Amino acid sequence: MRFPSLLLRTGFRGTLVAMALAFAYEGAWADTFTFTPSAVGLTGAAVTADNVLLSNFSNLTYTGATTFSDNGFLSITGFQLGGSNVTAGGLNSTYSLWFRFNGTGHLTIGTSSTDPRTAVTAGVFDTLTYSFVGASGNATFGFSGMTPIVTPGGATQTLASGSLLNGNVVTTPANGGIAFVPTAAGTVTFAIASGKEGFFSPNNPFHDMAFFAFTNAVTTVEPFGTGGPGSGFLTNNGGGNLDFVDSALAPVPEPSTGIFVGTVLTGLGLLYRRRSRRS
């Protein structure tokens, strides 16, 4: 699966927020929240937002004909409120935030030998766990060989954790069959770690569920292997979003790969318009 050079296609630099909203919540709006770094000993200004901007450093490896594992880090790079960027003083300088995740899943369309440059593959997550980490200083992300790594700038602490409610993954051909775009979206539980309640607001209680959405520009995707078990792809600095909701207000949908694929294929144009507001 050593494909030709992956070329940039500007339209795919958008995120899957609009698609995730349609897929997961059928019109439910993400809730506003406030993070207060000083409440847990981090140096930074409080930030109020309704959208978390993420950068994806991960390894997806096919473990069988239709099974895969996915693990890595999601670095928080910024925040938005009402579609506009908001300043988070100290973020990625005096303090850093990221998610460490591990997941497994299986394909329902295609197999590990399917060439994603020319055919759609799709599947669902079977397991997914994560921890939400805060650290002093500026953390850096990358790879040691094929393993995603983070180098914290200072002491780390776990702020929250959670696990899978549902999630889907899709790859779609791009650039005339010479590249492909991996996308994912889903919902997870969100539980604040003991003693870290002051970081999160509202705290009566904080939102108990989050949804994530990713589409990764072709220039961030590096395939490895020759197809079949043991092959896969690295995502180096891919793009995504995470938003919080209350489970009582946004019932969790059942996974539906068919609906998800259809939404991916029809929604990418809308996604770029939101992401372009960041420029």
Q: What's the pLDDT band for 248 if we cut at 50, 70, 90?
A: confident
- pTM score, whole prediction: 0.85
Q: Which of 160, 98, 101 has the alpha carbon at shortest distance from 127?
A: 101
The pLDDT assigned to 23 comes to 45
Confidence band for 253, pLDDT divided at 50, 70 and 90 = low
Inform me whether the pLDDT recorded for 109 exceeds 70: yes
CA end-to-end span of the chain, whole Å?
A: 34
**What integer is the mean pLDDT of 16-31?**
46
CB-CB contact of 125 with 107 (8 Å):
no
46-58 residue pLDDT tens: 999 999 999 999 9
pLDDT of residue 260: 56
Mean pLDDT rounded to a whole number for the chain? 85
Q: What is the DSSP string of 8-33?
A: P-GGGGS-SHHHHIIIIITTPPPPPE
Per-residue pLDDT, 246 = 87
Question: pLDDT of 172-221, one tens digit each?
Answer: 999 999 999 999 999 999 999 999 999 999 988 999 999 999 888 899 99
pLDDT for 14: 33
The pLDDT of residue 258 is 59
Separation of alpha carbons 117 and 34, rounded Å: 41
Q: Where are the domains of the chain?
A: 13-278
Nearest-angstrom CA–CA distance, 231 and 81: 39
Q: Summarize the confidence of residues 115-132 as an average pLDDT.
A: 96
